[in-house]
Amino acid sequence: MTIAEPTRATAIPERPSIDGLEDKWAPVWEEQGVFAFDRSILDERGREGVYAIDTPPPTASGSLHVGHVFSYTHTDLVARYKRMAGYEVFFPIGWDDNGLPTERRVQNYYGVRGDASLPYDPDFTPPREGGEGKSVKAADQVPVSRQNFIELCDILTVKDEETFEDLWRRLGMSYDWSLSYRTIDDHSRATAQQMFLRNLAKGEAYAADAPGLWDVTFQTAVAQAELEARDYPGHYHRVAFHRTDADAPVFIETTRPELLPACVALIAHPDDERYQGLFGKTVRSPLFQVELPVLAHPDAEMDKGAGIAMCCTFGDLTDVTWWRELRLPTRSIVTRTGRLLGEAPAWITHEAGIAAYEGLAGRTTFSARAAVVDLLRESGDLVGEPTPTQRKANFYENGEKPLEIVTSRQWYIRNGGRDADLNAALIERGREIAFHPSFMRARYENWVGGLNGDWLISRQRFFGVAIPVWYAVGADGEPDRDALILPREDQLPVDPAAQPAPGYDESQRGVPGGFVGDTDIMDTWATSSLTPQIALDWRGGEGDAGSLWSQIFPMDLRAQAQDIIRTWLFSTVVRSHFAENTVPWHHAAISGWILDPDRKKMGKSKGNAETPEGMVKEYGADGVRYWAASAKLGTDAAFDIGQMKVGRRLAIKVLNASKFALSFGEEPAGVSGGAGGSAALRRAVTVDVDRSMLTALADVVGKATAAFDAYDHARALEVTEAFFWTFCDDYLELVKDRAYGGQGEAAAQSARAALRIALEVLLRLLAPFLPYATEEVWSWFHDGSVHRASWPVPAEADVPAGSVSPAVLAGLGGALAGIRKAKSEAKTGMRAEIARVTIAADPAAVSGIRAGEADLRAAGRVTGDIDFADAATLEVRDAVVVPVERTPR
RNA sequence: GGACGUGUAGCUCAGCUGGUUAGAGCGUUCGCUUCACACGCGAGAGGCCGGGGGUUCGAGUCCCUCCACGUCCA
């Protein structure tokens, strides 16, 4: 990096262009620290001087897509506005690089698979590199040790993050890059582990054996928030159970006959007349001959199937409810690999049952199902043939097979899913946050209100933050899961799978009297729910009154997309509620989705112009930002190349119009250097037309500011842009002749001064949206960055001569439009002269137009008389258009 | 089935607490090299404001209901 050169007013190019501005200005902003957070503000103005933003760390192993560009731009708009409005903006960015998406990408990229049973190989070379996109079959993956696998994850994520950073910089994201973090770096891991230990100490985190959702492909537990209900084809099988007190069948219907050996009861609704006589009695299961009770529970659906269901441990979440509430025994047959137990379980005692099970042992649920159906058909217990059905099954959002429910020991953090008081408290926390738009709060409350269990944070994977726990091993060589060995906070981060427990030696691992490490890692959200703590250095700053953490937390704004309210937003609230008894931030800005032209959620990008890189190349960062900025928070938006083109045009227009406004040389009073026009400039504005324009501009400043303050960037843009276009089309055309000196020196000075004042205000109003074009223009006549200039205030447009109604300019614009229309209808060019014309309007409008008559005559090339007349609405008529001979050049 | 959101010109969207003939941009049609801009400028056409009820002097805007679409949860 070279020594920073100060931004300097440069010559105005002959033909200004927006192409290449990203390469020109992004490095300058970095070198000059334009977006660097200056913590001395805390000494000068305290917390009031800071605006702190909590930004989602994008998944490093995915790819940044248009949806990211969309919502991250929204956040950047707020950051830039707040920065110009006088706040020192704390705006960090991180990368979320742990978790399953990274593992999957590493598997495919290098063709490897983690295997915890293998030893570390320091000389390992991956079989290949760069297998983008294509997945590698499990059989072709080379197994590697946990440590080797983690190293590959580390290499690839860093590589990915560099390309991401480059894109964010080109897009003009105004992060302070010195604050960036990775959720897998030592600081993040230590923070996550320390908070976990605090939660553990206070009973907010705990381990428990419980039935939970399990992905057999990834072989890990899955949390409620990661579920996805999908349509899944299946068959209803009508199966006969047999009463033990009578020779009579009881028919049930099930989509999962292979779970018959795991059946623990039959259950019907307590009000169901058909089964009143059966409650309390027992039946015998077909094939396996296990005696089972018939019980009543309100969750049984009377109108579904036979109205009576078999309860297995476990086929679905309803089974879990029944099992828990009716205190049924646990008879699991599905193992973590998705295969059935290898031997007949103890509860099957009948000889025929044991024999039947032999055909199922060790098979996948899919092949076991077919086998059970065959057996039922033989025994005559299958009634009719299976009938096809579509049902909803739970999937892990990244998985391909339906989830099984497996009993295992897992770590949880309480989240109100099993505790009504905590649930109410967390809903109340949500009400302390101002959601933008406000209806997004409903999503938060719906989710929290619908929780049915605590937050499962442990995953049986490789690349992530380790659960910082060891267990003492007893004299019998068995680990004692209640004898936790915990690290001190100053020892964090730790990896119990690789490091010995405190006070032990590595040689004591797994031996009697020694220790074992917990092999689980935390779910990604258990770390990213601490982004405020990570970014503000809670760990290093807790208890230090002068630290960023103690001075800034809670933050001002959480910005994110709507899909992760239930995960990221909620989990951050949970952590903050436990640790600090407060909300983590006061505002939440929620962006919508990007939809492709078919109104579907935008999938993976298809063409080059639909990748963020391609978009920026094609339309410029300003053009892409304009598209994102024109959509309101919380509203899904269409992927719209047309809007990017419009934004590109707007940026080009800014360059050209500015070139014109600045083409009259240095003003006599000199350049103000920042905040909107010196006193001398304002004194020079004496002409009504100019004063009218500035009055309208002051109104625009007020509206744009109010819109930004209400987190409505789209409205701020709309108001500013609308003014800017009429400013170019009408005002610039009207005053052009006068500014060139056509009406004398004083009149020219008024126009030039008004142009200069308006330009300074407009550039700053547009700066958050078009950071590159506005910075380029600003550099033509200012030192320093427009992005550190002060946000305009309406008073900047006040001139000593007094304000003039915006109606004057509007009336002149209308009159000019009428003249243009006459020329257009005469099919002449705009250079045609008007020999005579009548302008009819109400008296007030007429007097306004008369005040600017000289400008109107020049802009419309009116050489003859203008007759004024009375009319309710403005009308230009009886124009005599005189075409001009085309002069060959 | 429940919650939330959306439905306004061919397309993408504005229309704040109900108030004059419903707006913008894109696209389209016609015209123009006009000394900031042809990566431009000017003009025109184009709308039973999803359907049906109601409240009101007055409804795109408020209420009810139905329909369609989207997302999430069952």
The predicted model gives A122-128 an average pLDDT of: 87
Closest residue (CA to C1') to nucleotide B37 in the complex: A656
Question: Which whole number is the average pLDDT over A501-510?
Answer: 94
Residue ranges covered by each domain of chain A: 1-33+651-804, 100-155, 202-219+405-522, 232-401, 805-889
pLDDT in tens, A663-680: 886 554 444 444 445 788
Residue type, A179: L
Give distance CA A438 / C1' B56 (Å).
Answer: 30
Residue A674 has a pLDDT of 45
Q: Is the pLDDT of residue A661 over 70?
A: yes
- Report the pLDDT value the prediction gives residue A191, as an integer from 0 to 100: 97
pTM: 0.89
In Å, the largest CA–CA distance within chain A is 115
Q: How confident is the model at residue A155 (pLDDT cuts 50, 70, 90)?
A: confident
Q: Is the pLDDT of residue A449 over 50?
A: yes
Q: CB-based contacts of A716: which residues, under 8 Å, 6+ apart?
A: A81, A703, A704, A705, A707, A708, A765
The Cα A234–Cα A256 span in angstroms is 9
Nucleotide nearest the Cα atom of A14 (by C1'): B36
Contact A66, A638 (CB under 8 A): no
Residue A9 clears pLDDT 90, i.e. is over it: no
| Token representation of residue A757 | 């004042």
Closest alpha carbon to C1' of B15, residue = A715
Tell me the CA–C1' distance in angstroms for A443 and B70.
Answer: 15
Terminal-to-terminal C-alpha distance of chain A: 51
Distance, CA of A39 to CA of A156 (rounded, Å): 33
Residue type, A171: L
The model's confidence at residue A795, banded by pLDDT at 50, 70 and 90, is: very high
Position A393 scores a pLDDT of 86
The tens digit of pLDDT for each residue in A843-864 reads 989 999 999 999 999 999 999 9
User: Which nucleotide comes closest to A889 if you measure CA to C1'?
Assistant: B33
The mean pLDDT value for A788-793 works out to: 96
Chain B positions with an atom below 7 A of a protein C-beta are: 2-6, 12-15, 21, 24-27, 30-37, 39-44, 69-74
What is the model's pLDDT at position A675?
Answer: 47
- pLDDT tens, A186-241? 999 999 999 999 999 999 999 998 888 899 888 888 888 888 888 888 899 999 99
DSSP class per residue in A686-718: -SHHHHHHHHHHHHHHHHHHHHHHTT-HHHHHH
* pLDDT given for residue A25 in this prediction: 97
CB atoms within 10 A of CB A660: 15
Nucleotide nearest residue A859, measured CA to C1' = B34
With a pLDDT cut of 70, the percent of chain A lying above it is: 95
| Å from the A101 CA to the B43 C1' | 56
Q: Does domain A1-33+651-804 have CATH number 1.10.730.10?
A: yes
Q: How confident is the model at residue A598 (pLDDT cuts 50, 70, 90)?
A: low
> How far is residue A813's CA from residue A484's CA, in Å, rounded to a whole number?
79
Task: Give me chain A's average pLDDT, please.
Answer: 90
What is residue A62's predicted lDDT score, i.e. its pLDDT?
72
CA of A592 to C1' of B64 (A): 30
Average pLDDT over every residue of A41-57: 96
pLDDT of residue A463: 82
Span A708-729, average pLDDT: 95
Taking the CA of residue A689 and the C1' sugar atom of nucleotide B61, their distance in angstroms comes to 36
CA of A23 to C1' of B47 (A): 45
pLDDT, tens only, A273-332: 889 989 989 999 999 999 999 999 888 888 777 889 999 999 888 888 888 888 889 899
Residue A604 assigned to a binding site: yes
pLDDT of A67 over the 70 cut: yes
The helix (H) or strand (E) run that includes residue A528 is helix A524-528
Report the pLDDT averaged over residues A49-60: 93
Distance (Å, rounded) from C-alpha A107 to C-alpha A139?
12
CATH fold label, A232-401:
Isoleucyl-tRNA Synthetase; domain 2 (3.90.740)
Please tell us whether the domain made up of A202-219+405-522 is placed in CATH 2.60.40.
no
ipTM for the predicted complex: 0.96
For residue A604, what pLDDT is reported? 47
Structure tokens at A730: 């009408």
Name the residue with higher pLDDT: A105 or A181.
Answer: A181
Residue A447 CA distance to nucleotide B2 C1' (Å)? 13
Distance CA A69, CA A851 (A): 48
> Which pLDDT value is given to residue A581?
97
